[in-house]
Structure formats: structure tokens, C-alpha cells
Chains A and B, each alone.
Chain A
């Protein structure tokens, strides 16, 4: 993971950099809000840690500018103790998490590890169920043979594999497979995608089946 740390207190910055580096993360320290904006523009980070009270530009101003460029990197704010408004403003401005000062290094490192795990689990792109292998990266399904899947088929099957043997309603499937911007998606979309998947599972000669009638619920099972 590559981390941007914006903290104007040199002593504190030094301690945090040392701690993070010792865990194998690579850290770019900067000392005011403007530098944070400039670095965010130039480099790809996995995490940005921004102090709120900084010279030239505050952490909040920097965060707003960074988000305005379309940057969606995970951001953790460092706020002064008891400043509830700071936390709320920070989260509303696009921060993902915050730590109150003074914070313990132990907690900071635990939060970074948690983020690292989450990123890692999203990258884990090969799922298996019974004799089926779903490769999210290649969007292929294989058992005895292999076949390509569309993006929707991949996401639907991914969700069904992670929830195998459970009854899943059409609403469940719509919520987890179709984006919010795809509001026109309905029961028919689910039915078509299920129908395609059934034939594709059959065509790779797998013993896995999707149970359920039009209208749901649907269950992924192995014979």
C-alpha cells in the first residue's frame, strides 16, 4: 500500500512514518494542505491520512479539492478530540474514516490493516463452488469446459456463490447485481440473466444448478 500522510507537526509525522514504514507500507509525508492536493494529483495512493488543522490549506479544504478532481481514494482524517462537528464535516466532505488526536499508533496501524484486508478481499477474483470456477478477472466460468460471462452474469453468479444454498429473492439479486444508476432494472432482467446462467452452467458440463421459478426466490445448489 502507498500512503499519503499530511501532518504539519514534524515530530508526529516522523513517528507515524516510522511506524507505517516498519509495517512495509510506503509513505509520502507532506506538511500542509496544498502539498497534499499536489501529491494526490501526481501519485496514485491507496490511502490518504489528512490532519485537519494545517497551514496554507486545511485538511478539509484539501479533501474537498481532491474529491472534486474525481479521486476516490480512501481518506482518513485526524481530528482534535471532542470536535464532533469536525468529524461530521470531514465525513460529509468525503472522508471515509477519522481518528481523534491524540491517537494511539496501535489503533492507526489496526485501521490500516483492516483497509488492506478489505482491498485484498476485493481483489481476490477467483471463486469456486462445487465443480464451478468463476474467474472475475477474465469473466469466464469453467467446469469441464469454459465459457465467457457478461459483467452482469459474473456479478450475479459471484453473489450466488458467496450465498450458495440460500434462498435469494429477486430484490436481493437486483440490489447486489445492478447498480443504483440502473434503476430501470427489474424482475425481467433478473430472469434473463438467470436463464443465461443456467444454460451456461449446463454448457460447461457442471453439476451445479440454479433452483427457482420466474419471480424467485433462486438458490444455487450442487447435485
Chain B
């Protein structure tokens, strides 16, 4: 048995369920001739090994309770959007959904991290037709949503690559370039957004 215990299949089932719900929300926008909420969706259940490692790092006992109740990102969903303005639209949908209760929001878009990281993080409790850790059914499960643009997403991939390479010769220099690149991508995001506004104003 891994750290998730009997809940391992439940987590995968919830992830699939959430992906379907978000996909239908996206479809609903298309049906109403609105732009997509998001361009693509990536979901994952955190691997048991990295969850165990996280619990140790945080000084939590390595138990199913820690994994499900104290850590909030066993289930993670990333909504990658075309434009900055799509992010508040996605956020609105999450706030409105009756199966989703927002616990915490972190706005790293208006408050970019010093290294240049931009993204909007949401911790939510979702109600799902499965028994939860406390034995309730339907149960409540923590999910982490990350909302970002395609540009922010590619930047994060590059930064991730650098973070996990330990033999980089000049990390300070690379970090500086990454930061500069993040500012340039933010600039493009804002420019595309502005052009979109100007197009829509003319109509």
C-alpha cells in the first residue's frame, strides 16, 4: 500500500470526473459562441513517492491523513489559457460551481514571484460521490488548480528544467536571463490582450 492507501483509485476517479466537468464548462462557452475558457487542461495525481517526500519535508507524519487532509495538492489540475483575460473567466466558473468551494487563492500574476514565475493558484474543496477520509459520502477532497497563460506555462517548463539540473555552470546568469524572459513574455501577453480589446471595441 502506498501513502494514499485505499484512496488511490478514488483520487484517479475524481481527477477524471473533474476533467470532464471542466471540459463541459469549456464546451458550454463554445455553444454560446464565447471564446474558450482554456486552451488545454493537464491533470495529475501527485505520485505517492513525491507526496511522501513532501510530507517529510513539511514534518508531517507520512500517513494517508497527511496526504489527503494536510497537503492540498494530491489532485492537481492546470488550466492553460490563451489570453490573460481568460484567467478571471475560469476563476469565475470555479467560484460559481456548486461542487467547488474555494479555500485559498494566490495571485502570482499580479504579484509575480521574484524569479519571474507567474500563475494563479487556487486551493479548493470539491464535493464528489465518493467516501472521503472522514467517512462522508459524498465526500470532500482538496484540489489544487493552477491557472496560467500558454506563455506563463512554457516559461514555467523552462524554469523547471533549470531547477532540476544541478550541473549548470552559471546559474545566476541563467536566472537573470529567465527573469528577463518572463518580463518579455508578460509583455507579449499584455500586448495580445490589448490587441484583443482593441479588436472587440471596434465591433
Q: Which A residues are closer than 8 A to B by beta carbons?
A: 138, 140, 144-150, 192, 195-196, 198-200, 203, 205
Contact = CB atoms under 8 A, between A and B. Distances in A.
Nearest to A191: B198
A205 B111 contact: yes
- Give the interface size class of chain B: 10 to 19
Contact of A199 (B112, B184, B194): B194
A203 B198 contact: no
A148 B183 contact: yes
B187 A195 contact: no
Contacts of A146: 112, 183
Nearest to B84: A203
B111 A203 contact: no
B194 A196 contact: yes
B110 interface: yes
B111 A144 contact: yes
A184 B167 CA distance: 51
Nearest to B181: A148
Contacts of B111: 144-145, 205
A199 B188 CA distance: 11
B191 to A, nearest CB: 6
A138 B179 CA distance: 12
B110 A149 contact: no
A148 B182 CA distance: 9
Given A148-B180, A195-B198, A199-B193, A205 B187 contact: no
A144 B191 CA distance: 19
B190 interface: yes
B192 to A, nearest CB: 10
B8 interface: no
B75 to A, nearest CB: 30
Contacts of B190: 147, 196, 199-200, 203
